[in-house]
A and B are shown apart, each in its own frame.
Chain A
Amino acid sequence: MYTFGIDIGSTSSKAAILRDGKDLIAHAVVPLGTGTVGPSQVRAAVFEQSGLSQKQIDYTVVTGYGRMKCDYADEQISELSCHAKGIHYLLPGIHTIIDIGGQDAKALKISDTGMLLAFQMNDKCAAGTGRFLDVMSRVLNVQIGELGPISEKSTHPVSISNTCTVFAESEVISQLSNDVPLADIVAGIHDSVAKRVAGMAMRIGCVPDVAMSGGVALNIGVVHSMEREMGCPVQVHPLCQCAGAIGAAVLAWGKYIKGAIKANE
């Protein structure tokens, strides 16, 4: 029995197909989000990988920013619940998930079975999100992907104190013009993001084990900063970007089973 989960985000689309709710037989990421060809591209990709078509899918769940406009889905579920389930699938034993995306940051507390217990979101302010890193990487004239490796060379991270991204940018420029080593500045930027997000996570309480997901989780520097801020190890699964889609597929299976039981009554 096959279930299909698709996560239509604002800047990327992810999809996953599960067999019998446990075997991940296909997954894909396309860096184009809602309103573009991204969703249809990622859908085509997983069908090709698995050799399946929509007809063979028993239940489809859509999630993410663009979840309201998906006509082939059986149900739409919030990205928070889907993410929780997805990380639980990838890393059983996780109870706290920190998701830092391009536009927002979330902290999720989940149960032993991957059910969402509590959540905290920052969806208004650029500080503590990928956007902050975007701005800084431009100022520093480095690629986003280079930030992590650069920061690992830092010996004395600077303190970027401002929570306002605009002011923080000016702080970074000032550090640059004072010939502070690039690695120390980048490490300082990572610490700033980690601090902001850790504070948010502490509001729901940090229960081990802790995992990070979202685009920013691929930045090893931020991950290490988070570990220092939270005072505990932070795991990152290589497929974490697909957590939402995977979780959607897991939840889809649950819904399908429930529906099948009901039908038999």
Chain B
Amino acid sequence: MSDTITTESSAAPAAKPKRPKAKSMIMIGEQTQALFENARLAKERGEKVGWSASIFPQEIAETLGLVVLYPENHSAGIAARHQADPFLQECEGSLGYSNDLCAYAKVNLTYSSVLAGQSEVELPDGGKMVRPDFLLLTNNICNQLTKWYENLAKQLNIPIFFIDTCYNPYDYVTETRVRYVRAQIDQLIKDLCEFTGKTWDDEKFQKIMKISQRNSYLWEHANNLMDRKPSPLSGFELFNYMSCMVCNRGKESTTALLEQLNAEIEQHIAEGTSTYPVEEQFRVSWDGIACWPYLRHNLHTLKEYGINMVASSYGKAWAIEYEDLDGMARAYCFASTNGDNASTMISRRLEALKRFGCEGTIYHVNRSCKVMDCQMMEVQRQLSALAGVPFMSFDGDQADYRNYSEAQFETRIQGLVEVMKQNKEAKANG
């Protein structure tokens, strides 16, 4: 993902001067480029490179000095740049997969098939998502990841290093889970060292932990600055920075860029400016990942009504605090919001709604994501009642551009605005 996933990727016919690119955005672009470049160089040196699930304990690969790339993030980039079509066609065509599957997986399974020499689809990035030698998998995010990676392993004939993080039906992570996950982590480190020839350095791990914790703190801090009224950023921009937390969470380059981002936001706050292009009329929370193929349309529609997304479920996604491997085991069980039970999901969201002063929630019914969609209706109902805040949902997809209707989105946003307006007026009139 070497380009930013914003509206700036499409041709702009307007004559008005464009805002100069923020330094933090330049830094993240450079960081992404560096990641892919490192992967290429590592392959040239004959080193083993991995593909990893987005919420796998990156501390492990980082401590071992392994270069690891992230298929979910990569697929999101392809989708955002409107390059997904040939991958989807091939996946549902010659590769024989069902249309029902997660679109990140669909795109990536085709990409991997090309790398394996079994499909012929032009790779718009020239193959920089290099062929992996191993896979790092956790299932805290969902079960589809497990099946997806099973298939990748078979296709590319490579091993999977797996940490089963277990779903949490309770409001806390049981000690039995922590023990199981810890045992898996210990074994995985041994196995990965054997496979890659790397050695575990406990001192380095301590250092990486500190960097990761610092980055988690900075990320949460940046997200939290959105609680100012009006918000200093157009909320969607935070989606652009997610890649540093997904792909480079344990790196100092992330610390630098997040510090820069925080500084930029603080400056906006100090100067009373914002990157949100119009007057902020309504503050909303966005539930679900971005609808990458239609970010431009989403933004444009929201801007029309002065709606700014000030909160999302991703602000605290990497609020991973721990001091040792046991703590890390527990943290990763709890890390992904998808691995939580409904009450935890509700309480996390309630906190966000209150803190950021949200007047409504936009819930993206992401066709690719059953693990969210199959429980979200109840969660939104309860949340709406508890927070006294209306919500609206729309059909979309994180990467499959065929699952969206502009007309539907526009109509529903308009409906939400009407309710939010009513509520605002009622409040003003006491």
- Identify which of A170, A195, A205 contacts B405 (C-beta below 8 A): A170
Question: Are B403 and A174 in contact, CB atoms less than 8 angstroms apart?
Answer: no
Distance in Å from the Cβ of A249 to the closest Cβ of chain B? 33
Question: Are A162 and B92 in contact, CB atoms less than 8 angstroms apart?
Answer: no
- Identify which of B99, B404, B407 contacts A174 (C-beta below 8 A): B407
Chain B, Cβ-Cβ closest to A195: B89
**B406 interfacial by beta-carbon distance below 8 Å:** yes
Chain B, Cβ-Cβ closest to A167: B405
Chain B, Cβ-Cβ closest to A173: B407
**Residue of B403, B405, B406 with highest tally of chain A CB at under 10 A:** B405
| Total contacts A-B at CB 8 Å | 43
**B408 interfacial by beta-carbon distance below 8 Å:** yes
- Identify which of A161, A162, A163, A202 contacts B93 (C-beta below 8 A): A202
| Contact residues in A for B406 (Cβ distance below 8 Å) | 170-171, 174
Question: Are A162 and B405 in contact, CB atoms less than 8 angstroms apart?
Answer: yes
**A199 interfacial by beta-carbon distance below 8 Å:** yes
| Contact residues in B for A156 (Cβ distance below 8 Å) | none
**Distance between Cα atoms of A201 and B94 in the complex (Å):** 8
Question: Are A163 and B402 in contact, CB atoms less than 8 angstroms apart?
Answer: yes
Contact pattern, A 168-186, Cβ under 8 Å of B = 1, otherwise 0: 0011011000000000000
Question: Are A161 and B92 in contact, CB atoms less than 8 angstroms apart?
Answer: no
**A200 interfacial by beta-carbon distance below 8 Å:** yes
Contact pattern, B 86-125, Cβ under 8 Å of A = 1, otherwise 0: 0001101110100100000000000000000000000000
Residues of A181-224 at the interface with B, using a CB-CB cut-off of 8 Å, are 195, 198-203, 205
**B282 interfacial by beta-carbon distance below 8 Å:** no
- Identify which of A170, A199, A201 contacts B407 (C-beta below 8 A): A170
Question: Are B408 and A198 in contact, CB atoms less than 8 angstroms apart?
Answer: no
- How big is the B interface, by class? 10 to 19
**Distance between Cα atoms of A90 and B96 in the complex (Å):** 30
**Distance between Cα atoms of A174 and B407 in the complex (Å):** 8
Distance in Å from the Cβ of A68 to the closest Cβ of chain B? 30
| Contact residues in B for A200 (Cβ distance below 8 Å) | 93
Question: Are A198 and B405 in contact, CB atoms less than 8 angstroms apart?
Answer: no
**Distance between Cα atoms of A201 and B403 in the complex (Å):** 22
Distance in Å from the Cβ of A146 to the closest Cβ of chain B? 26
| Contact residues in A for B96 (Cβ distance below 8 Å) | 203
**B161 interfacial by beta-carbon distance below 8 Å:** no
- Identify which of B89, B90, B99, B405 contacts A171 (C-beta below 8 A): B405
**Residue of B93, B405, B408 with highest tally of chain A CB at under 10 A:** B93
**Distance between Cα atoms of A164 and B395 in the complex (Å):** 11
**B70 interfacial by beta-carbon distance below 8 Å:** no
**B332 interfacial by beta-carbon distance below 8 Å:** no
| Contact residues in A for B363 (Cβ distance below 8 Å) | none
Question: Are B404 and A198 in contact, CB atoms less than 8 angstroms apart?
Answer: no
Beyond the given A161-B401, A161-B404, A170-B407, could you list 11 further A-B residue pairs with CB under 8 A, ordered by the A residue number? A162-B404, A162-B405, A163-B402, A163-B403, A167-B407, A167-B408, A170-B408, A174-B407, A201-B93, A202-B93, A203-B96
Query: Lowest 6 A-B CB distances belong to which pairs?
Result: A202-B93, A167-B405, A199-B93, A170-B407, A202-B94, A163-B402
Chain B interface residues (CB < 8 Å from chain A)? 89-90, 92-94, 96, 99, 401-408
Chain A interface residues (CB < 8 Å from chain B)? 161-164, 167, 170-171, 173-174, 195, 198-203, 205
Pairs A–B under 8 Å by Cβ, sample size 12? A161-B404, A162-B403, A167-B404, A170-B405, A170-B406, A170-B407, A170-B408, A174-B406, A174-B407, A199-B89, A201-B93, A203-B93
